[in-house]
Chains A and B, each alone.
Chain A
Amino acid sequence: MDIYRHRPKEVFRAHPAVLSLIVFVSLLLEVTLPPAWPLAHLFQFPLLVVMYFSMVRENQVFGIAFGSALGLLQDALAHGYLGQMGMAKAFVGYLAATAGLKFEFDNLLVRGVLIASLVCIHNVFLYLLTHELLGLPPPFEPLQLLASILVNVALGLILFPLFDRLKQPA
């Protein structure tokens, strides 16, 4: 199975209104689902949105800007320090766009591996930033990380085909 990209580049984008709506809904789900359904605290909708749109756009600067903006919005809603999520998501956006340039993103296995890797990197980055740099809780919990990876891989594999319908050639 060839997961590296050899054919000509095909870059996609989403309509700004659609993208804004998706960002809005992802933030809304992020803050409103966990109180009603505690298991939903594992879902990382904004992270999946950053991943997907950075990968399909294949533009690292876009990935950084998009991730940074969405992360800062999350920070603003979280009532914590501004910049924690912003930095983590900017980093993930950059990595996702880089991965989009190198890998065949339509492949289901590639999608799964990329989502797992980026969720892991995002959570570890966030942990290092908040716990090690700022000295804030919570402590690192490997099982929590594993659960988060598995849940978000499953969620991403469900959501990404839906997002595929919204993308249009750039």
Chain B
Amino acid sequence: MPAIVNRHPSFFVLLGVLLAQLLLLSVQITRNQNVRLIHVWAATAFGPFEQGFHDAVEGAVQSWKAVHVLWADQQENEMLGTQLVVARARIQELSEKAAEVQRLKALLNFKSQLSYRSIAAEVIASSPGIGSTVVSIDRGQDSGITVDLPVVTPEGVVGKTVAVYPHTAQVLLITDPSCGVGCLLGESRLQGILKGGGQGRCELQYVMDEEKVSAGEAVLTSGLDQIYPKGLLVGYIVRSEDGNIYKHIVVKPAVPLSRLENVLILFKSGPEQRQAMNVGRP
């Protein structure tokens, strides 16, 4: 026996250690695990380190989660930013379309109320320069357009056609100094000639000083110029001053001429225009 122990001392050390711990186990079992003191010592010695390490690990985990959440939020933010730009562009596009629909609807209503034949046109260009008084429309000879046709919108008179090309035409606005419109005042029925005054205003000429004219009074077409039908709204009187013989009456056009988009061209009731209307686009 001692020879075996001498040949394998470490094995017997192992057996001894295992046996000792087995005895320790059996003691604990018979004494109902009565080794509380060792556990208390171990817990007391390790407790602060456990707490500290736990806090550090928890802090690292929470930091990592926070970084992850921030990163995810940033990604989402970028994605939402892109979507917002697209949505804004889409809203803008839809708003434009809605506004166009409103304008066309108003134009259509106005057209149905008119006793004249008319054709709708879109303003496609204006002559260069600030305060431009000529605009181009997408209707021309192929739609039966001729010169000196009145151009209107539901708000009022815009001007008249001055040059016609195969597919387009030019409209001289009422604010152009060379444009004259036979007018009368809505309440007093005084007559005069409206001339363009530049800077988006017009002047009503040939109204005598002794006549009483009040600001805000509507200015309508008189029909005497043989171009514009009678009774169309042209604008409103802004200011009226006495001159030497005739009053200086400033009129603000009823139509916002700097923001024209869709207009109606009215046809005179002659057979030529009626025939042209039939071959023109709707």
Contacts and interface: CB of A to CB of B under 8 A. Distances in A.
Nearest to B62: A36
A107 to B, nearest CB: 24
Contact of A94 (B14, B24, B53): B14
A134 B29 contact: yes
A81 B28 contact: yes
B21 A68 contact: yes
Interface stretch (B38-46, B146-154, B175-183, B203-211): B38-46
A90 interface: yes
B25 interface: yes
A91 B11 CA distance: 10
A24 B46 CA distance: 9
B25 to A, nearest CB: 4
A147 to B, nearest CB: 22
Contact of B13 (A28, A36, A60): A60
Contacts of B57: 32-33, 36-37
B41 A76 contact: yes
Interface string A48-85: 00000000000011001100100011001101011110
B38 A64 contact: no
A27 interface: yes
Contacts of A27: 46
Interface residues of B, number: 28
Chain A: number of interface residues, binned into ranges? 20 to 34
A76 B33 contact: no
Contacts of B50: 28, 31-32
Contacts of B58: 36
Contacts of A90: 14, 17-18, 21
Given A36-B58, A87-B21, A64 B53 contact: no
Interface in B1-60: 9-11, 13-14, 17-18, 21-22, 24-25, 28-29, 33, 35, 38-39, 41-43, 46, 49-50, 53-54, 57-58
A32 B18 contact: no
Q: Which has the most chain A C-beta neighbours within 10 Å: B9, B28, B61?
A: B28
A86 interface: yes
Contacts of A76: 38-39, 41-42
Interface in A71-120: 72-73, 76-77, 79, 81-84, 86-87, 90-91, 94, 97
A90 to B, nearest CB: 5
A115 to B, nearest CB: 20
Contacts of B9: 61
A169 interface: no
Given A36-B58, A64-B14, A76-B42, A82 B25 contact: yes
A8 interface: no
A35 interface: yes
Nearest to A77: B42
A64 B13 contact: yes
Which of B13, B14, B43, B57 has the most CB atoms of chain A within a 10 A radius of its CB? B14
A82 B10 contact: no
A72 B24 CA distance: 11
A23 to B, nearest CB: 12
16 contacts: A28-B49, A29-B53, A32-B50, A33-B57, A60-B10, A61-B13, A68-B17, A76-B41, A77-B42, A81-B25, A81-B33, A83-B28, A87-B22, A90-B14, A90-B18, A94-B11
Given A32-B53, A81-B28, 17 more contacts: A24-B49, A28-B46, A28-B50, A29-B53, A32-B50, A36-B57, A37-B61, A76-B39, A82-B25, A82-B28, A87-B17, A87-B21, A90-B18, A90-B21, A91-B18, A94-B11, A134-B29
